[in-house]
Amino acid sequence: MLNRTADNVARATPEPLAKRIRGISDKGLAWLFISPTILLLLAINIFPLFWAIYLSFTNYRANRPNEVVKNLGLANYQRILGDQDIWIAMQTTAHFVFWTILLQTVIGFTLAWLIDRKFRGHAFWTTIILVPMMLSPAVVGNFWRFLYEPQIGLFSYVISFVTGIPPTNVQMLSNVELAPWAIIIVDTWMWTPYVMLICLAGLRSIPEYIYEAAEVDRASNWRQFWSITLPMALPFIMLAVLFRGIENFKMFDMVNLLTGGGPGSTTEVASITLKRQAFESWRTGYSSAFAIILFVAVFGLANIYVKALNKVKQR
Amino acid sequence: MSLTTAHSVVAPSANSKRIAGVIIVAYALISIVPLLWIFATSFKTPPDSIAYPPKIVFQPSLEGYCNLFTTRTRQTPEYINSLGPATGLCDATVRKRNMVIAGPSNFVPRFVNSLIIAFGSTFCAVFLGTLSAYGFSRFKVPLADDLLFFILSTRFMPPIAVAIPIYLMYRELGLSDTALGMILLYTAVNVSLAVWLLKGFIDEIPREYEEAAMIDGYTRLQAFWRTVLPQATTGIAATAIFCLIFAWNEYAFAALLTSGTAQTAPPFIPTIIGEGGQDWPAVAAGTTIFLVPILVFTILLRKQLLRGITFGAVRK
């Protein structure tokens, strides 16, 4: 269509101009515009990915580059699938992802639902609520370490003030029971606004006339919520869950700074294990295999999820 | 008439609005307490910062900022007395703790690294992203959907998983701990966001403008330059800010791939220590300086925020 327009123009105009228009074809221009991005991604993402796949079949160690590299076949993968520590890390990750997403979805949706009432000043307060999610999780997460300090930390102080537990006993980061929750709290504080913002878009996309029709039918508020609001906002909620799920599955920065995976390995999520194996024990081949497994897992789960999301959308 | 009408979502009642308002304001206030606490701590003295109970009212001090920008050594009171009068506010503050300023700290170079890497990678990502987005938006590219998905899928990788081969590759190429290496890496990460966002923005610009320009004798390239780009300015600016925020905030790659000359602020700030542990006022001061630009950008961006965080999947 466009090509034809351009050609017609070219034919209708005098020679030199026509030449200029034909000078670089649309097809050529398209590739000229797209190829730099593709080349960059091939160099920085795809080539390293293939390198990692190659390394995952070897016993290569990055701190001993001169040692002879042995081909191990699938041994790394077999060892990972039988490694107790890896399974514990996966469970820790699942626990973290499950609770953060549950809390963020429930709180985020509730906030969005309230903001949708459009009370006076809602735009200003919405902006305030959005601030935490724009900040660096590492830099702000690091400061939460201070808020969590027993006694002197503000968070611990407030908790001991409210509950009456002696201030020295509120050990959010060094208590085995509490440390996973300390991370869940910071993540929820930071990312609830994200879910809220997407849910708000979902709620605002519901046309008024549907509610008006429900009013005519004398549907109760409860009924309207369950059969209009929630189902129509569901694709948006699911989208928010997808984005948060992927991000939290990859979670590294906040956990690394808050607990470093400790105490012991109670907060050691998959990314922390990966870092310990790759950059502390220098088991490059082994950790590459683990990285590939993680990548396949995220990719596979995300794909299944997107299919479900599209089904909900089409309904 | 009935109660249901009064409470309906079609027209929220005054009462339900009021309750919603109170809950939202309460949530907003509680959620910014940690940020206010960072700001307050940056103006406390180290003893005030670790007081029990935590001090809400305190004598403001610039000691945290002094400690952030300097390194200090402990000296005997006799030696300090033998020095002339203090040369500045920080000098005087530090001497009260029996210290003298030994030199500047690494904060400024790390902050400058953050600026160079964030702006450099943002420029590259937006440049490449604009071209690709225009290509995908206007031309029939074979396998366009697959290519777009491929561009996005590079975001599925956990950063640590990407960092392992990148670490080896950069070691071979001599790019370890260099600003160039970090700019390339952040460009690659951000370009997926830039392509997806900008494609959305460019899709919204009617094709008729370019067609009209081309009938007037512009080439396709000129039409792109003179009609599409000026119309996409808002979108490009919003995309640039999102890329900038990502690069500015990024920690995992920076912590693993930089150690000295190219280290950015996020891995540096947690390492600020004073005598006997973390120097929290200095950390808070560094955090405050680091966060202020993002606060400004967030306010500028608030209308485009939704689009940015969903890769353009949700538009208002």
- pLDDT in the model for residue B304: 81
- CA distance linking residue B231 with residue B224, whole number of Å: 10
Identity of the residue in A33, A144, A302 whose CB atom sits nearest the CB atom of B134:
A33
Among A8, A27, A116, A146, most B C-beta atoms within 10 A, so best to mutate, is: A146
Q: Helices then strands (H, E): number in chain A?
A: 16, 0
Q: Which residues pair with B204 in a beta bridge?
A: none
Please write down the long-range contacts of B6-13, taking CB distance under 8 Å and 24 or more positions apart. Answer: B7/A221, B8/A211, B8/A215, B8/A221, B8/A224, B9/A116, B9/A211, B9/A221, B9/A224, B9/A229, B10/A208, B10/A211, B10/A212, B10/A215, B12/A117, B12/A118
Chain A interface includes B75 (CB < 8 A): no
Per-residue pLDDT of chain A in tens (315 residues, 90 and over written 9)? 455 555 665 555 555 554 554 556 778 888 889 999 999 999 998 888 899 999 999 988 888 878 788 888 888 999 999 989 899 999 999 999 999 999 999 999 999 999 988 888 888 999 899 999 889 999 988 999 999 988 889 999 999 889 888 888 888 898 899 999 999 999 999 999 999 999 998 998 888 898 889 888 888 888 989 989 999 999 899 989 998 999 999 899 999 999 988 888 899 999 999 999 999 989 999 999 999 999 888 888 888 888 888 888 776
Q: Which residues pair with A58 in a beta bridge?
A: A71
Regions of chain B with pLDDT less than 70: 1-11, 316
Tokens matching residue A261 = 């995976």
Residue A1, min C-alpha distance to chain B (Å): 10
Identity of the residue in B141, B290, B299 whose CB atom sits nearest the CB atom of A139:
B290
Chain A interface includes B289 (CB < 8 A): no
- pLDDT in the model for residue A309: 84
Residue B92, min C-alpha distance to chain A (Å): 27
- pLDDT in the model for residue B8: 47
Tokens matching residue A284 = 């490059």
Domain ranges of chain B: 3-41, 108-271
Q: Of B251, B209, B259, nearest to B230 (Cα)?
A: B209
Tokens matching residue B14 = 């005054």
User: A271 vs B160: CB contact, 8 Å cut-off?
Assistant: yes
- Contacts of residue A306 in chain B, CB cutoff 8 Å? none
Q: What is the pLDDT of residues B92-120, one digit of tens each?
A: 888 888 888 888 999 999 999 999 999 99
Phi, psi angles (nearest 5°) of residue B136 = -70, -30
- pLDDT in the model for residue B286: 94
- CA distance linking residue A146 with residue A154, whole number of Å: 8
Q: With b meaning 16 or more CB within 10 Å and e meaning fewer, what string describes A285-315?
A: bbbbbbbbbbbebbeeebeebeeebeeeeee
- pLDDT in the model for residue A195: 94
- Contacts of residue A278 in chain B, CB cutoff 8 Å? 160, 163-164
- CA distance linking residue B62 with residue B90, whole number of Å: 8
- pLDDT in the model for residue B264: 93
Tokens matching residue A22 = 């034909």
pTM: 0.87
- pLDDT in the model for residue A184: 96
Mind listing the domains of chain A with CATH numbers?
82-314 (1.10.3720.10)
The three-class DSSP label of residue B59 is: coil
Could you please state the CATH topology (level 3) that the domain comprising B108-271 is classified under. Answer: MetI-like fold (1.10.3720)
- pLDDT in the model for residue B236: 92
- CA distance linking residue A52 with residue B161, whole number of Å: 8
Q: What is the pLDDT of residues B3-13, one digit of tens each?
A: 444 444 456 77
Please list, in sequence order, all residues whose beta carbon lies within 8 angstroms of the beta carbon of residue A182, skipping any fewer than 6 positions away.
Answer: A144, A148, A172, A173, A258, A259
Phi, psi angles (nearest 5°) of residue B155 = -85, -10
User: What is this model's ipTM?
Assistant: 0.87
Q: What is the pLDDT of residues A105-121, one digit of tens each?
A: 999 999 999 998 888 88
User: B291 vs A137: CB contact, 8 Å cut-off?
Assistant: no
User: B24 vs A49: CB contact, 8 Å cut-off?
Assistant: no
Chain A interface includes B168 (CB < 8 A): yes
- pLDDT in the model for residue B6: 41
Among A3, A26, A40, A41, most B C-beta atoms within 10 A, so best to mutate, is: A41
| DSSP structural state of residue B270 | G
The three-class DSSP label of residue A138 is: helix
Identify residue B235 by its one-letter amino acid code: G
Q: With b meaning 16 or more CB within 10 Å and e meaning fewer, what string describes B121-144?
A: bbebbbbbbbbbbbbbbbbebeeb
Q: Of A270, A135, A144, nearest to A194 (Cα)?
A: A135
CB distance A193 to A108 below 8 Å: yes
Tokens matching residue B74 = 């402990």
Identity of the residue in B31, B151, B157 whose CB atom sits nearest the CB atom of A129:
B31
> Which DSSP string do the residues of B215-241 spell out, in sequence order?
HTT--HHHHIIIIIHHHTHHHHHHHHH
CB distance A115 to B20 below 8 Å: yes
